Chain A
Amino acid sequence: MFSFASDQKTEIPITSVYQERFTFRYGYARAGETQQADDIGQDYLAFHTEEKSFQFVLCDGVSLSFCGNIAAQFLATKLLVWLRSVSVEGARDEHAMAAALDAHLTQWVDEATEMVNAYRLPRALSPLLRDVLEEKRINGSEAMFVCGRVDIIDDWSKQANVFLACSGDLRVRLWEGTQEIFCLSYDEGDQYQRWSTKKGLLSGSIKTASSIGMGQPFNRMLVYSDGFAAIDSLRSIPKTERLQNLMTESFSSPTSDDISFLDIAW
């Protein structure tokens, strides 16, 4: 068993873990300017693996909303609990999973709104900044997300059932061996898709995918936030050292953003 949940104030270098059925790498870093200010990151990465199952969630808080880190942490925590509660059989039915998730995303709004309303802003804010943040609070905190679950159904062939759900422009890429077979496509409109603590899903419905629906085998999955867009164009999966270098290089870029990265192989 292995669990991870990002502390939004601590960088985690690309770390490799080898378990019996899953091999995985993960990393977390705040944007360069956020590290300099020692502020809270807006991404949240969490996952859990036990025996033949791996559940994960990555949320990217929307920085223009009210403290996007709140929505990211809240939603990630809820999604992971939900994914862990689903049975192996239940996770095979993509449509039922999508419907259940859709319902949860609406149900969680009240609790999330309460949390946002109770959130205390730091004292030392200028009146104008405080006023703007209070205006944002009315519209809630927002996050994009991708979550999923992998269940090994045959130890010998390593055949797995996979369920994925996504809202926003987070990256999901699937491989069979060294061949990339699928990239959860995102277009310009996806940057407006997100979950709001005030309104639930915004700008369209969630995208889902499953191994059964795709009808194509794969045994590796990369999930990362748009802060790691530097690896979008890479056609093969980089080694850990290269990933770490790219992560570190990104901190000095003016457009540096939070990075969450997860690479799962089975």
Chain B
Amino acid sequence: MDYRIQATQQTPAYIVYLLDISASMNQFMDAGGEQKRRIDVVTAALNSAIRQMVFRSTKGSRLSPRYKLSILAYSDNVFDVLGGIKGIDEVARMRPLENIQTQRLTNTAKAFEVAEKMLQRERENLWNCPAPLICHMTDGAFTGEDPEPVVRRIMEMKMPDGNVLVENIFISDEILKTPIKNSRKWPGIMPDTYLEDEYGNKLKKLSSPLPESYREMMLETGYKIEPGALMMLPGTNADLVSLGFQMSAATPVR
């Protein structure tokens, strides 16, 4: 129960990405000095995380499928971008994020319900694997039902490696009292960190504590996340959004 099972070909890490594609994702945000649409920042960050997974999965010139992915884009409805659960070797041959179009609303509960069903179906296959992770990216309050009950149920799903992990990347202009100047030196959001956004505070409560094994991997890649941090990222700029997606792929690997 300490998130130490290594991702291997036989025991791959399963990550479900839930991407909010509501209309507000067309708004612009800071991306290293220039302004880019939020959706473009997110797809670039997820592509970068996929690349990181490929980097961690090579053995010689072969790609060992140490990760399995689902990508669900949601608005009023939920779209399965990959068309099922795919190994990282398959994802590497696709261009899954090229044609993502923004829609209207933000039915977060519906998206988590689909993810919950996928986890339930896969649970037996994942029993000896690293605990699955749901990486949720959104830029605003939900519409429709409150997602809290379903997220709580997911966070209580027990696996031998530890409960299912939930990470939230919350894209927002202002969320912290003091802006983060350097994401590489940022300690992370702690349970007592004050967020200047009501929905941000809700998402904070729905974010798992960052496992120490993940934190160690992040330290190795130059980040300074401190013990006790939550799996929640304030996506105030492209750097932090990218950090959030890198965190999702920080499963220990063989």
Which A residues form the contact surface with B (CB < 8 A)? 33-34, 37, 39-40, 42, 63-64, 67-69, 121-122, 125-126, 128-129, 131-133, 135-136, 254-255, 257
Say which residue of A39, A126, A131 sits within 8 Å of B93 (CB atoms).
A126
User: In whole angstroms, what is the CA distance A126 to B92 when docked?
Assistant: 7
Closest 8 interchain pairs by CB? A254-B10, A254-B11, A254-B8, A126-B93, A128-B92, A33-B9, A63-B59, A126-B92
State whether A40 touches B60 (Cβ < 8 A). Answer: yes
The answer to whether the Cβ of B6 comes within 8 Å of any Cβ in the partner chain is: yes
The secondary structure that dominates the A interface is loop
B250 to chain A, nearest CB (A): 14
Between-chain CB contacts (< 8 Å), 24 pairs: A33-B64, A34-B59, A42-B60, A63-B58, A63-B59, A63-B60, A64-B55, A64-B56, A67-B60, A121-B61, A122-B61, A126-B63, A126-B92, A128-B93, A129-B54, A129-B61, A132-B55, A133-B61, A135-B55, A136-B55, A254-B6, A254-B10, A255-B254, A257-B254
State whether B62 touches A37 (Cβ < 8 A). Answer: yes
User: In whole angstroms, what is the CA distance A33 to B60 when docked?
Assistant: 12
The secondary structure that dominates the B interface is loop
Number of interface residues of B (CB under 8 A): 21
State whether B51 touches A132 (Cβ < 8 A). Answer: yes
B52 (CB) vs chain A CBs: closest residue: A132
User: In whole angstroms, what is the CA distance A257 to B64 when docked?
Assistant: 13
State whether B254 touches A129 (Cβ < 8 A). Answer: no
B94 to chain A, nearest CB (A): 9
The answer to whether the Cβ of B208 comes within 8 Å of any Cβ in the partner chain is: no
State whether A129 touches B92 (Cβ < 8 A). Answer: yes
B56 (CB) vs chain A CBs: closest residue: A64
The answer to whether the Cβ of B128 comes within 8 Å of any Cβ in the partner chain is: yes
Convert B1-23 into 0s and 1s, putting 1 for each residue whose CB lies closer than 8 angstroms to a CB of A.
00000101111000000000000
A254 to chain B, nearest CB (A): 4
Say which residue of B11, B60, B254 sits within 8 Å of A39 (CB atoms).
B60
B6 to chain A, nearest CB (A): 6
Which residues of chain B from 133 to 175 have any CB-CB distance to chain A below 8 Å in the complex? none
